[in-house]
């Protein structure tokens, strides 16, 4: 069988020089921007399954060798020149400042966000990163390498004080000094370093639920404190849905999504909840320096509220985690996953396209396909079988994240196929999210951040 692939452009022209595979492996310019598909391009290549056999370098070289026409080569060089100019611009230490607005002091100006097809998102933590204090400071030392690799956006962990060490049971949302990843000053320093290198910062936003600060008279954990001297985000049971399976004693409206179970679900129909969460998000932008959002557990509340928060805060990039089960037949992944990717499309449409979505459909199909079932990679119409086949401009592809992989391994990609998984997502439509720095760049070859 063949796998259809659309024309591709490379970041740098050096890989077109003669020298074969060894020269390709030795190139100092390879990065995550290499072999990025331009989703608007027309089909040019007919790639067989043989092009996906071998390690990452071998696969990329085979695909590069397939490109032979003068037209495509020329477009590669043009794109390479533009990317090189963009990188050179960021490497000249041209820091623009915006005094008395960004964090109440002069700090580096915000970088120009990447255009939608060119986003390369990096997950800047895993499930155990909290144990390395300060994680913010540790990651700051690797920012230059991320920039060289072509990363455009870094997804950072939940920043607030939380009942759990990972940050996914937040309580005092304004309190950034009691995060297990580091304190507020260290977080700002990391964000400034990323901005100086032209990288945008994406905050992990956990607002489906919230851990109570203390109990009410009936023993329910539904009294909240915001972490400030004033009353911001100081809420009571009125801010919690009244049908929460957590038994939180909530007195708000019915939940507009699934119940989380580990903490009280917030009532997003409440105007005060909407307004004060909006204020907090805008504070994260203006005071702390974040640029965009990754919304956690978005199946817990209606997508119209994600739209509301995006429209009120104007993030440079937003993506939601809608993790639902794929279809299985007798314990085996079904061949047709249209229902699953339709759920993702419906959620994106529910946000009025204000947010992208992680392409869980492609992840599930890809990790099954690379076990010798390549037929799964195309649907009945010859398009990719995941969200990238229907809604590529809003699909964020990934191989693993802190939940599916890391030490949790709830749904991990086969270890021996991870590099091939990366080859696939960086050569297909959608915006790839990477979490392992194994791209063979000059300073990052075979290096893992965690």
Q: E strand or H helix at 304, and its extent?
A: helix 303-313
Respond yes or no: is residue 258 known to be catalytic: no
Per annotation, catalytic residue among 189, 296, 359, 436: 296
CA of residue 319 relative to chain centroid, distance: 7
Per annotation, catalytic residue among 153, 321, 400, 436: 321
Asked whether the bond before 134 is cis by omega within 30 degrees of 0, the reply is yes
- Residue 217's DSSP bridge partners are none
Of the candidates 310, 342, 340, 318, the one whose C-alpha atom is nearest the C-alpha of residue 328 is 340
State the Cα–Cα distance between residues 227 and 177, nearest whole angstrom. 10
Q: Check: CB of residue 365 under 8 Å from CB of residue 385.
A: yes
State the Cα–Cα distance between residues 59 and 450, nearest whole angstrom. 25
Respond yes or no: is residue 230 known to be catalytic: no
Q: Which long-range contacts (CB under 8 A, 24 or more apart) does 58-67 make?
A: 58/21, 59/420, 59/423, 60/24, 60/30, 60/34, 60/35, 60/423, 61/21, 61/24, 61/25, 63/5, 63/8, 63/35, 63/427, 64/10, 64/15, 64/16, 64/24, 64/35, 67/8
Q: To which residue do tokens 């008279």 refer?
A: 217
- Residue 2, classed as helix, strand or coil, is strand
State the Cα–Cα distance between residues 354 and 349, nearest whole angstrom. 8
Strands (E), 57-150: 121-123
State the Cα–Cα distance between residues 179 and 165, nearest whole angstrom. 8
- Residue 431's DSSP bridge partners are 396
- Residue 295's DSSP bridge partners are 205, 320
Enumerate the active-site residues.
Answer: 296, 321
């Amino acid at each position: 069988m063949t796998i259809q692939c659309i024309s591709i452009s490379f970041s740098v022209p050096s890989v077109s020089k003669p020298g074969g595979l060894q020269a390709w492996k030795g190139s100092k310019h390879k990065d995550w921007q290499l072999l990025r598909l331009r989703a608007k391009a027309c089909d040019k290549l007919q790639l067989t399954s043989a092009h996906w056999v071998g390690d990452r370098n071998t696969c990329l070289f085979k695909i590069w060798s397939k490109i032979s026409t003068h037209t495509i080569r020329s477009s590669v060089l043009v794109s390479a020149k533009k990317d090189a100019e963009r990188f050179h611009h960021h490497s000249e230490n041209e820091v623009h400042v915006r005094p008395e607005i960004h964090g109440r002091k002069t700090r580096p100006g915000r970088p120009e966000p990447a255009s939608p097809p060119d986003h390369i998102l990096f997950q800047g933590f895993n499930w155990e990163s909290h144990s390395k204090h300060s994680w913010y400071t540790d990651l700051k030392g690797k920012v230059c390498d991320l920039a060289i690799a072509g990363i455009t956006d870094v997804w950072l962990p939940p920043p607030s004080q939380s009942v759990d060490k990972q940050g996914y049971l937040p309580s005092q949302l304004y309190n950034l000094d009691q995060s297990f990843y580091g304190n507020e000053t260290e977080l700002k320093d990391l964000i400034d370093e990323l901005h100086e290198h032209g990288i945008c910062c994406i905050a992990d936003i956990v607002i489906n639920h919230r851990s109570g600060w203390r109990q009410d008279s009936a023993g329910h954990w539904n009294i909240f404190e915001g972490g400030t001297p004033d009353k911001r985000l100081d809420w009571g049971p009125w801010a919690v849905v009244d049908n929460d399976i957590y038994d939180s004693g909530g007195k708000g409206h019915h939940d507009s999504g699934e119940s989380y179970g580990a903490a009280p679900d917030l009532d997003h129909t409440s105007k005060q909840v909407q307004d004060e969460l909006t204020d907090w998000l805008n504070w994260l932008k203006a005071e702390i320096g974040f640029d965009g959002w990754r919304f956690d557990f978005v199946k817990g509340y209606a997508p119209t509220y994600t739209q509301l928060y995006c429209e009120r805060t104007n993030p440079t990039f937003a993506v939601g985690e809608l993790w639902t089960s794929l279809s299985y037949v007798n314990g085996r992944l079904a061949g047709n996953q249209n229902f699953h990717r339709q759920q993702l499309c419906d959620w994106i449409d529910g946000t009025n396209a204000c947010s992208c979505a992680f392409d869980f459909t492609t992840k599930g199909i890809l990790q099954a396909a690379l076990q010798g079932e390549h037929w799964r990679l195309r649907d009945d119409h010859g398009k990719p079988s995941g969200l990238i086949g229907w809604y590529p401009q809003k699909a964020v592809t990934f191989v693993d994240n802190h939940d599916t992989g890391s030490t949790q391994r709830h749904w991990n990609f086969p270890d021996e196929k991870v590099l091939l998984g990366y080859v696939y997502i960086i050569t297909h439509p959608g915006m790839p999210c990477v979490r392992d720095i194994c791209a063979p760049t000059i300073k990052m070859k075979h290096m893992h951040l965690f």
